Amino acid sequence: MLRIIGSDERGKLTFRIEGRLVHGALLQALEECWRTSLADRPRLRVSVDLTAVSFIDAAGKECLAAMQRQGAELIGADCATRGIVAESPDGR
């Protein structure tokens, strides 16, 4: 299960992700929300709050790496999530 909560405050869009960030329709929904937001407002600052994420598979990591390459700030809480956040922008 994945839950995506978006908030837009003072020109900064934050996606709060809850649950498992894994390959499938919900991950595609996150990618679509992100791409649509950037298409509508290319200078929009974006952050992705991963503090409530319990698992991230390879597809989820790839999505996060793409978001980070486009300037998104990734926010993590536990060791595993912080490790993903600390990875280089190309996802390696």
What is the tens place of the pLDDT at every residue in 34-48? Answer: 899 888 888 889 999
Q: Which residues contact 12 (CB under 8 A, 6 or more apart)?
A: 44, 45, 46, 47
Round the average pLDDT of the chain to a whole number and report it. Answer: 83
The conformational region for residue 19 under phi > 0 = left, psi -120 to 50 = alpha, else beta, is left
Model confidence at 92, pLDDT cuts 50, 70, 90, reads very low
CATH topology of domain 2-86: Transcription Regulator spoIIAA (3.30.750)
For residue 30, the surrounding DSSP H or E stretch is helix 25-40
d(CA 44, CA 52): 23
What is the tens place of the pLDDT at every residue in 59-89? Answer: 999 999 899 888 999 988 666 666 666 664 5
Domain borders along the chain are: 2-86
The conformation of residue 57, written as its DSSP 8-state character, comes to -
